[in-house]
């Protein structure tokens, strides 16, 4: 049981790391305006409205990469697809919290939230199960 819990925790950590890495690259491609603070809701909304589609695709890519490798990590440690599904579920909840706190186009929220669990499961399926 402890091994399964550890697998999920590691999978979540790997998933978050993957998301952070891709969003770090995205931050270099689409830098945050100097002086803009996250607590400035109107300023953030105005800035997000100026972003090109590529910026939003990078967000989705970060979620896909994080989910995929998080699912792989969880499955490799637990040998169970269910661990990857839990990782995807936790990342979905984090994505939902993000969607509710950071203004973004509806299509980004929908694609993101629909991607976490299936992509984590896809990552898990890439890890062979020993017979």
C-alpha 10/C-alpha 36 separation (Å) is 34
Cβ-count burial of 107 within 10 angstroms (0-12 exposed, 13-18 middle, 19+ buried)?
A: exposed
pLDDT by residue (tens digit) across 55-105?
A: 999 999 999 999 999 999 999 999 989 999 999 999 999 999 999 988 899
**Token duo for residue 2:** 């402890």
Q: What separation in angstroms does the CA of 87 have from each of 4, 20, 102, 105, 115?
A: 11, 16, 22, 25, 12
Q: Is residue 130 part of a domain?
A: no
Q: Is residue 131 part of a domain?
A: no
pLDDT of residue 71: 97
DSSP 122: H
**Token duo for residue 128:** 């062979």
**Token duo for residue 41:** 């809701």
Q: Is residue 47 part of a domain?
A: yes
Question: What average pLDDT does the structure give for the chain?
Answer: 94
Q: Is residue 57 part of a domain?
A: yes
Task: Domain of residue 22: give its range.
Answer: 2-125
Residues in the chain: 131
Q: Kindly give, in sequence order, each residue whose CB lies less than 8 Å from that of residue 29, ignoring residues fewer than 6 positions away.
A: 54, 55, 58
In the chain, the number of structural domains is: 1
pLDDT of residue 128: 86
Q: Does position 131 have pLDDT exceeding 60, yes or no?
A: no
C-alpha 1/C-alpha 115 separation (Å) is 27
pLDDT by residue (tens digit) across 100-127?
A: 988 899 999 999 999 999 999 999 999 9
Whether the predicted model's global pTM rises above the 0.85 cut? yes
């Amino acid at each position: 049981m402890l091994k399964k819990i550890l697998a999920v925790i590691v999978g979540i950590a790997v998933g978050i790391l993957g998301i952070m890495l891709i969003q770090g690259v995205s931050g270099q491609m689409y830098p945050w305006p100097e002086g803009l603070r996250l607590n400035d809701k109107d300023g953030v909304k105005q800035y997000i409205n100026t972003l090109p589609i590529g910026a939003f695709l990078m967000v989705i890519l970060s979620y896909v990469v994080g989910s995929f490798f998080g699912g792989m990590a969880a499955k490799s440690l637990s040998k169970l697809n269910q661990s990857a599904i839990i990782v995807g579920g936790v990342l979905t909840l984090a994505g939902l919290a993000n969607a509710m706190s950071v203004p973004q186009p509806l299509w980004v929220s929908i694609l993101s939230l629909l991607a976490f669990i299936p992509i984590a499961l896809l990552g898990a399926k890439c890890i062979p199960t020993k017979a």
